[in-house]
A and B are shown apart, each in its own frame.
Chain A
């Protein structure tokens, strides 16, 4: 069952690459698992580790000061590519709770919201400004407040963001979507009664 999404304060991990695809977030060879857990080490695997398993010092997640940070500031179109939900599973397993970008891929956004990972989309100017602020002050700390739909800066400035109101409510209340749907079973039954099945998949 989902947990209630609470407001939190964190420093930021900068990842300026654009179009970060889900094959980079978690390579396909880690998709042979039948579990959701244990994917923290697979996160950004090939950007993060050498062939022999030693960490690549230049990659941002390997810098010791990044440990414990919960906000990823990523380039445009984050999470494009495959539908693998292993991407948000790996991000949250590492400890990421929000991804800020100027846009997120559709399926990734849906998958993230269902796993307590908040995709925060800001306009391009704000997006660039956050990178600039981080360049000046790498220790910049922000508060992510979903209830207020704002990222709070230490300067007392708020960066507002849009989020699907339904997803917001589900996250803030920790509501399970399948349970929510099943409470509407009578409507589903009525629709099914009026909409005959199009196919029967049992061998013809």
Chain B
């Protein structure tokens, strides 16, 4: 008997389907549920209203990241609403028995940074979180899905999720990246190619030579922004790089026998030869240059040396209107280059680019140099663990000596709901994931880019190609 070749999504899906009744979505068993302060309070209220408990608090983990200040942690949270929300998370975790890495914990951090750090994120798992960037965990070959608050309540109550099976979308990145071109540039190039709705209803499976060559942190950067291409999840088949990252972490399988059994299970996850994807796209890594966005959604991106496109070249009338509106908001003109464009703030951080590898890249450029005058540069580590590592390695000293702010861990200016934000009209080069109108502060204008591009821009004070500043 021969079985149909399966994709990695098929394999994880099949293993986690509890039942699938005719006409109904599958009931999907969930291995890990990550919780934060912003999308959970109404879910916990729902449990209380129904008189329910959390089905599996020991498969649930919480942290405070979104509305938390990134200044001195010994100071109280001044925003009363944010303070209440963070305190409410602590009360909810206490009442329902959920482990919490809150403010003050040396494990606190952005939910998508601490999951992998703790070794909770493992291949083959189903992972959910009330956050659209949950796909980050897909870097480990897990099916990681962003969910809404009603679904958070559903998972808290039942440790399952009602879900229709997504279609698989193969993203093959062939060839090798040139120096100065990073994982962030790959994902921005993909989204620029397929558009922000291109992956709707699908899960991206990233593969190919360039993906295999990436570190786990770089793979997380790519999977993180799957939602920006419309896909609710994105994943990369696990390999030796994955296993080496997980090995020895606090929640990784312990003991030689358990570890070997786990790795053996994980080795069966990659898509079978001949498995069918609903859609497929190929990107040539060697042709990419550093990317930057010019508009108000992550699909409005281009190579850093290119010129802002003209609305007249849009494919249709609605595309023309959208680009016109975006350029008006950004106060940019068609045909204008972004290289050399004045910038007011550089933000290095977010669940996309706040890990130690990101900070090392930025620090390597900034070492012994100083940021431009009249420029605010914020470096916000993704977790307290990243912060401590960066301080041990001397990266924090490099940033501070360069004139950048070195802050506490959190989402910070990526979502700008904690007081870290740009002013109306300001230009921000940001390593985060969204350049929507007002995303980084009402009226603020975002150029999304890699940590290298952000660091080069911080030094020059204008949008700069990092390759010009890198040692030959």
A residues neighboring B (CB under 8 Å):
16-19, 21, 23-24, 27-29, 31-36, 46, 51, 75-77, 80-85, 103, 105-107, 110-111, 114-115, 164-166, 169, 177-178, 181-182, 184-185, 187-188, 191-192, 195, 197-204
Contact = CB atoms under 8 A, between A and B. Distances in A.
Nearest to A34: B41
Nearest to B199: A106
A21 B298 CA distance: 11
A32 B418 CA distance: 9
Nearest to A33: B81
Interface stretch (B54-62, B304-312, B388-396): B54-62
B437 A182 contact: no
Contacts, number: 201
B319 to A, nearest CB: 8
Contact of B85 (A32, A83, A185, A195): A32
B50 A178 contact: yes
B283 interface: no
14 contacts: A21-B434, A23-B438, A31-B38, A34-B41, A46-B437, A76-B197, A85-B148, A178-B153, A178-B158, A181-B157, A191-B29, A199-B59, A201-B59, A202-B99
Given A34-B42, A181-B158, A198-B125, A115 B150 contact: yes
Contacts of A198: 31-32, 122, 124-125
Interface string B258-281: 000000000000000000000000
Contacts of B67: 31-32
Contacts of B196: 19, 77, 80
B180 interface: no
Nearest to B325: A17
B340 interface: no
Given A24-B437, A198-B125, A201-B58, A16 B318 contact: yes
Given A32-B82, A34-B85, A83-B130, A110 B297 contact: no
Given A17-B325, A199-B32, A204-B251, A187 B19 contact: yes
A24 to B, nearest CB: 6
B426 interface: no
Interface of B: 15-16, 18-19, 23-25, 27, 29, 31-32, 38-39, 41-42, 45-46, 50, 56-61, 66-67, 79, 81-82, 84-85, 88, 98-99, 119-120, 122, 124-125, 130-132, 146-151, 153-154, 157-160, 162, 164, 196-197, 200-201, 227, 230, 232, 250-251, 297, 299, 318-319, 321-322, 325, 415-417, 424, 434, 436-439, 442
Nearest to B300: A19
Given A75-B318, A198-B32, A201-B98, 7 more contacts: A18-B319, A81-B436, A110-B148, A164-B164, A187-B18, A197-B56, A200-B251
8 nearest A-B pairs in the assembled complex, by CB-CB distance = A77-B197, A34-B41, A111-B148, A85-B148, A32-B81, A114-B150, A85-B149, A28-B417
Contact of A19 (B124, B146, B297): B297
A32 B99 CA distance: 22
A87 B24 CA distance: 25
A23 B434 CA distance: 10
A181 B28 CA distance: 11
Give the one of A19, A76, A203 with max B CB within 10 A. Answer: A19
Contacts of A31: 38, 66-67, 417
A192 B417 contact: no
Nearest to B438: A46
Contact of A35 (B42, B131, B146): B42
Contacts of B415: 28
A188 B18 contact: yes
Contacts of B321: 16-18
Contacts of A182: 157-158
A116 to B, nearest CB: 11
A188 B158 contact: yes
A21 B85 CA distance: 24
B132 A204 contact: no
B146 A203 contact: no
Nearest to B31: A198
A100 B107 CA distance: 44
Contact of B23 (A18, A32, A115, A166): A166
Contacts of A169: 23
Contact of B154 (A19, A82, A178, A199): A178
Contact of A106 (B29, B154, B230): B230
B18 A191 contact: yes
A103 to B, nearest CB: 6
Give the one of A18, A199, A202 with max B CB within 10 A. Answer: A199
A184 B130 contact: no
Contact of B58 (A36, A85, A200): A200
Contacts of A84: 38-39, 148
